[in-house]
Amino acid sequence: MSTKLSFRKDFTLGGELTVRRMGYGAMRITGPGIWGPPRDRAEAIRVLQRAVELGVNFIDTADSYGPHISEELIAEALYPYPAGLVIATKGGFLRSGPNQWHINASPKHLKEALEGSLTRLRLDSIPLYQLHRIDPTLPFEPTLEFLQGVQEEGLVQHIGLSEVSVEEIKKAEEYIEIVSVQNKYSQDYRKWESVLRYCEETDMAFIPWNPINAGNLGSMSSVEYVASKIGATPHQVALAWVLYHSSNTLLIPGTSSVQHLEENLAAENLELTEEMLERLEK
Dump pLDDT digits (tens) for 120-141: 999 999 999 999 999 999 999 9
Instruction: State the pLDDT at residue 4.
Output: 75
Cα torsion angle, 226, 231, 234, 240, sign: negative
Residue type at position 83:
A
SS3 67: coil
Peptide bond into 67 cis (omega under 30): yes
DSSP letter at 91 equals E
Q: Where are the domains of the chain?
A: 10-281
48, with CB counted inside 10 A (0-12, 13-18, 19+), is: buried
Give the residues across from 94 on adjacent strands: 102
Residue 120 amino acid letter: R
Residue 78: band (very low, low, confident or very high) from pLDDT cuts 50, 70, 90: very high
Q: Which residues are catalytic?
A: 65
Span 74-86, average pLDDT: 98
Q: Which of 248, 229, 235 is nearest to 188 (CA)?
A: 235
- How does pLDDT run across 195-241, given as a tens digit for each residue? 999 999 999 999 999 988 655 565 568 899 999 999 999 999 999 99
Q: What is the Cα–Cα distance from 132 to 278, expressed in whole angstroms?
A: 33
Give the fold, CATH level 3, of 10-281: TIM Barrel (3.20.20)
192-219 residues labelled b (16+ CB within 10 A) or e (exposed): beebbebbeebebbbbbbbbbbeeebee
**Residue 282: its pLDDT value, please?**
79
Predicted TM-score (pTM) of this structure: 0.95
